[in-house]
Amino acid sequence: MRLAELSARSGVSTATIKYYLREGLLHPGRLITATQAEYDEEHLRRLRLVRALIQVGRIPVNSAREVLAALQDEDLDRNRRLGTAVWALPHGPAPDETHPATEAARRGADALLDRLGWSCGRSPGEPVTAPAYGMLVPAIAALSRLGYPCAVDDLEPYARAMERIAVTDLDLVDRYETPDEQVEAAVALTVLYEPVLLSLRRLAEAEESGRRFGAR
C-alpha cells in the first residue's frame, strides 16, 4: 500500500507518519521509485502500536523508541521481550528513600509478594527491581502516612484480583497469531486497558455503594 492508504487505514495523518519514520518509530517502506515507498500490514500493525503509545498513552517519543527497540530484540524470548518493553514504559516517581515510611512500605510490599509467591523475575534473596514495584512502595507508604489500611491482609485481595486480570490480559494476547504480534499486542493492551480498568473499578464501586448504602 502507498502512504495515503496507510494513512487512511490507520487513521494517522501522512505528516505524522513521516514524523514517525524520521524518528525511527516506524521502519522505512520498500522503495518503488526514488520518491515513493510501499508499505505492508506489518507497518500498519506497528503504526497502531505507536499510536497507542504516543497518542493515547501520552508516552514521550524517546520512551516509545525504547519500547519498540525491546520488541525488536530477537535475542530475547517473548517473556523477556515483553518484560523489557513494559519496563521501558513510564512508571512515575521513584520512592522517597529519605522518608521513614518508605522502608516500612518496602517490607510490606516484600511480605505481600512472598505471600503471593510472585518472583517478579528475581532469584531468591535478590531485591525486586521492576519499575512497577517502585510504584507500589510509595503507594503503600502514602496509605500508611495518611492512616489508611495497607497491611498485607488488606492488599492481598487486590493482588488476587490482579492475578485474574493478568490471565484475561494474556488470553487476549493469545488471540494473535505470531510471537511478534503477541508481544506488540501485549504492550498496546497494557497502555490501552489501564484507563478501562480504572473506569470499570469506579463504576463497580458505584454499583456496590448503591447496593450497600443506597435507598432501600
CATH number for the domain spanning 69: value is 1.10.1660.10
- Across 46-50, 79-83, 120-124, which has the greatest mean pLDDT? 46-50
Q: What is the pLDDT of residues 147-181, one digit of tens each?
A: 999 999 999 999 999 999 999 999 999 998 888 88
30 bridge partner residues: 38
Dist CA 203 CA 93 (whole Å): 28
Domain assignment present for 95: no
**123 half-sphere exposure, CB direction, 13 A CA radius:** 0
Average pLDDT over residues 142-149: 95
What is the phi/psi pair of residue 211, to 5°? -70, -40
Residues 130 and 52 in one domain: no
Burial class (CB in 10 A: 0-12, 13-18, 19+), 168: exposed
CA angle 28, 17, 188 (to 5 degrees): 90
Structural domain boundaries enclosing 131: 100-213
| Cβ atoms within 10 Å of 167's Cβ, excluding its own | 10
- pLDDT surpasses 70 at 216: no
How many independent structural domains does the chain possess?
Answer: 2
Domain boundary among 29, 52, 87: 87
Q: Are 16 and 72 within one domain?
A: yes
Q: Which of 48 and 115 is assigned the larger pLDDT?
A: 115
Domain presence at residue 186: yes
Cα–Cα distance for residue pair 185/10, rounded to 1 Å:
16
Q: What is the pTM of this model?
A: 0.83
Note whether 35 and 74 are same-domain residues. Answer: yes
Any bridge partners for residue 38, and if so which?
A: 30
Same domain as 116, residue 80: no
Ranked by mean pLDDT, the top range of 30-34, 38-42, 125-129 is 38-42
